[in-house]
Amino acid sequence: MTWTFGEPPLVETTELAPLLRRLVGIALSAEVPSTALRTLIDDLVAAERSLAELAPSSPTPRVGADHPADGRVYLDHARNIGAFNPAFPVYEITVEGSNASGSVEFPIIYEGPPGIVHGGFLGVFFDCVMQHHNCDLGVAGKSTSLGVRFRRPAPLLTPLSFDIERSVSTDRIESNARLLHGSTVLAEARMEAIAGDLSALPPVSARKRDR
């Protein structure tokens, strides 16, 4: 049984996330002001006003028994968060029991030093893929520690690979992962998480259909 906790995103949200990621990358590369960029800003401001009228009044997610009646929907963060949230990286992963592997390519919006992925985003990436691994195996929980060791700069706009090894003992999960460019290790991460019980999690309110 895979681990899910929350509602799936809207189709429109999964279309919006990669578009915003690309647009911001292009804007960051712009050399001079342009009417196209100004028009985009004006259109986004107008869209923000229109969408705000549809949003719930409370930013608190509708999780647990005491959630606000007009709180926001909580989207499932078990896997592939980047598909609906442009602040998170997009990756491909294959899970084979206690091992997993995959690929990732970081766009310009994750840049730190020139042409290099910001180290903080690598921490987010490792947390995402290791918890994705846990959730696919049906035993996951809150991260209690995450340590990242940077071995080599991780280049932007470059196909990279990663691998994960996972072990479970009593109520703890330990995951060790590597990010590689070819055979060169760029970064290593170790994460510990609580081995939670999916049935013990608080209820999540279903998406409202009458908005």
Whether the predicted pLDDT of 211 surpasses 80 = no
Alpha-carbon torsion (67, 2, 8, 129), positive or negative: positive
Contacts of 57 (CB under 8 A, 6+ apart): 70
The whole-angstrom separation of Cα 146 and Cα 193 is 9
First to last CA, the chain: 32
Residue 51 pLDDT grade (very low, low, confident, very high; cuts 50, 70, 90)? very high
Tens digits of per-residue pLDDT, 78-115?
Answer: 999 999 999 999 999 999 999 999 999 999 999 999 99
Q: What is the CA radius of gyration of the chain?
A: 19
Q: Give the 3-state secondary structure of residue 96.
A: strand
Whether the predicted pLDDT of 20 surpasses 90 = yes
Q: Which CATH architecture best describes the domain 11-200?
A: Roll (3.10)
Average pLDDT on 18-46 reads 96
Torsion of CA 111, 102, 82, 123, to 10 degrees: -50
Tens digits of per-residue pLDDT, 149-192?
Answer: 999 999 999 999 999 999 998 899 999 999 999 999 999 999 99
**What average pLDDT is seen over the chain?**
94
Average pLDDT on 14-33 reads 96
User: How do the domains of the chain map onto residue ranges?
Assistant: 11-200
Whether the predicted pLDDT of 210 surpasses 70 = no
Predicted pLDDT at 184: 98
Q: What is the percent of the chain with per-residue pLDDT over 90, rounded to a whole number?
A: 83
141 or 101: which carries more pLDDT confidence? 101
